[in-house]
């Protein structure tokens, strides 16, 4: 006889197993029938599409004006050089989101990924081959390396690249593989419970567990839009009485909608801030007083606020400000 429930069974076990230098198996259980796939499928999609990585978006080669050109003394044509370059995986050191890196090599030598690591970037595929130079060759080139997610074709980047650079398709995703299986398991006398087994492999820019954690954070932030439902006060007697001020609606959006970097977002989150309106109500001096908020993060926040129409220092109408403060306080009780 099926038992009557008022809530689904809560899974309680997570196991992490290192299966290689950059691969892991993550197992979670037990789930009731149907819940495993409901969680596993979006997690896999987010792992592949929303994990932050790094990629060269453009290259400038001295003596070459386009990708079908050649460089004196280099065995490979520029087109082959670019293909080899795309196969190398870079990682920016420090907190920068983009860097310009300059290189100079003289032959004879074979250039590999290890030769491109320096104070600005690390190449996590050190054995990857780039080019062969003969004894008379001199190769000078510059790379624009950016942080990003997913895949961006060169056509969408071209306008942002300085003159003289050859634009590249940018494949940022550091996750090489993200698969899952769902297995049945026995819980008490019921054999229909399920177990999710994830297999995650990265290219070394990020470790698999960090990639998984970041994915779960992205999922939570995406779902936070529905938190607004909890704030709606529906009145059957006067449907129009609760019509929300559009300005308030915008200001009550979560900080995750600003598209901030992880460092900036985490600083605000640790300070207990959740909504755009909380930042919009603050002066620049008040923003500067937020603990662990660096200069770069402050500039990023100011830029993002301006993008959504609330530059720092914008005066919000008194009644709107009162209503906004009231709604923010209500969500934090």
User: Is 5 part of a structural domain of the chain?
Assistant: no
CATH number at residue 146: 2.170.120.12
Q: Which of 171, 193, 210 is a domain's end point? A: 171
Residue at 218 is within a domain: yes
Residue 61: how many other CB atoms lie within 10 Å: 23
Tokens 């090489």 correspond to 176
183 plus 164 within the same structural domain: no
Question: In this structure, what CATH number is given to the domain that contains residue 289?
Answer: 1.10.150.20
Same domain, 127 and 18: no
Which pLDDT score, from 0 to 100, does residue 231 have? 58
Whether residues 185 and 165 share a domain: the answer is no
Instruction: Please name the residue ranges forming H helices in the chain.
Output: 35-50, 78-87, 154-157, 208-223, 246-251, 262-270, 276-280, 284-288, 295-307, 318-331
Do 46 and 58 belong together in one domain? no
Which of 142, 171, 200 is the last residue in one of the domains?
171
- Dihedral of CA atoms 124, 130, 135, 136 in degrees, nearest 10, equals -120
188 phi, psi to nearest 5 deg: 55, -115
Report the 10 Å Cβ neighbour count for 165: 18
Residue 274 located in a structural domain: yes
Q: Are 59 and 161 part of one and the same domain?
A: yes
The CATH code of the domain that includes 214 is 3.30.1360.10
pLDDT given for residue 92 in this prediction = 94
Please report the pLDDT score of residue 220 as a whole number.
84
Please report whether residue 7 resides in a domain: no
State the DSSP code for 294.
-
Domain that holds residue 271: 232-331
- Could you tell me if 123 and 186 lie in one domain? no
Total of domains in the chain: 3
Which residues face 109 on adjacent strands? 133
DSSP class of 108: S
Residues 205, 135 share a domain: no
Rounded to 5°, angle at Cα 299 from 291 and 121: 95
Residue 167 shares a structural domain with residue 199: no
Q: Are both 192 and 252 inside the same structural domain?
A: no
Closest CA to 51 of 180, 236, 204, 241: 204
Are 288 and 215 members of one domain? no
What tokens were used for 107?
């032959």
Residue 266 resides in a domain: yes
| pLDDT tens over the chain, length 333 residues | 456 777 788 888 999 999 998 999 999 999 999 999 999 999 999 999 999 999 999 999 999 989 899 999 999 999 999 999 999 999 999 888 999 999 999 989 999 999 999 999 999 999 999 999 999 899 999 999 999 999 999 999 988 899 999 999 999 999 999 999 999 999 888 888 999 999 999 999 999 999 999 899 888 888 877 776 665 554 444 444 445 566 787 888 888 888 888 888 888 988 889 888 899 888 888 898 888 888 888 988 988 887 777 788 777 777 778 888 888 888 876
Residue 151 lies in a domain: yes
Say yes or no: 114 and 185 in one domain: no
Asked if the structure places residue 2 within a domain, the reply is no
Residue 8 included in any domain: no
The reported pLDDT for the residue numbered 241 is 40
Pairing of strands 175-187, 13-20: unpaired
pTM: 0.65
**Which residue's structure tokens are 């470790």?**
207
Same domain, 93 and 165: yes
């Amino acid at each position: 006889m099926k038992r009557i429930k008022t809530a689904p069974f809560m899974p309680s076990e997570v196991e992490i197993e290192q299966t290689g230098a950059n691969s892991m198996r993550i197992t979670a259980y037990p789930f009731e029938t149907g819940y495993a796939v409901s969680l596993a499928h979006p997690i896999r999609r987010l792992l592949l599409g929303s994990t932050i990585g790094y990629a060269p978006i453009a290259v400038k080669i001295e003596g070459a004006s386009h990708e079908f050109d050649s460089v004196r003394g280099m065995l490979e044509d520029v087109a082959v050089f670019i293909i080899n370059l795309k196969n190398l995986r870079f990682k920016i050191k420090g907190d920068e989101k983009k860097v310009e890196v300059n290189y100079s090599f003289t032959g004879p030598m074979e250039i590999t990924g290890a030769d491109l690591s320096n104070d600005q970037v690390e190449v996590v595929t050190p054995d990857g081959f780039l080019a062969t130079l003969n004894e008379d060759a001199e190769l000078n080139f510059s790379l624009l390396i950016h942080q990003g997610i997913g895949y961006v074709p060169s056509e969408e980047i071209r306008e942002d690249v300085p003159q003289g650079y050859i634009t590249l398709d940018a494949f940022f995703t550091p996750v090489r593989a993200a698969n899952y299986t769902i297995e049945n398991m026995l819980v008490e006398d019921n054999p229909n419970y399920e177990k999710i087994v994830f297999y995650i492999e990265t290219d070394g820019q990020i470790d698999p567990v960090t990639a998984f954690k970041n994915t779960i954070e992205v999922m939570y932030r995406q779902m936070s839009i529905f938190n607004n439902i909890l704030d709606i006060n529906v009145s059957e007697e006067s449907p129009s009485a609760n019509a929300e001020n559009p300005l308030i609606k915008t200001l009550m959006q979560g900080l995750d909608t600003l598209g901030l970097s992880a460092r900036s977002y985490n600083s605000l989150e640790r300070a207990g801030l959740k909504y755009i309106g909380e930042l919009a109500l603050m002066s620049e001096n008040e923003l500067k007083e937020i603990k662990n908020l660096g200069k770069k993060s402050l500039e990023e926040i100011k830029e993002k606020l301006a993008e959504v129409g609330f530059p720092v220092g914008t005066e919000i109408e008194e009644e709107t400000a009162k209503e906004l403060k009231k709604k923010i306080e209500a969500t934090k009780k």
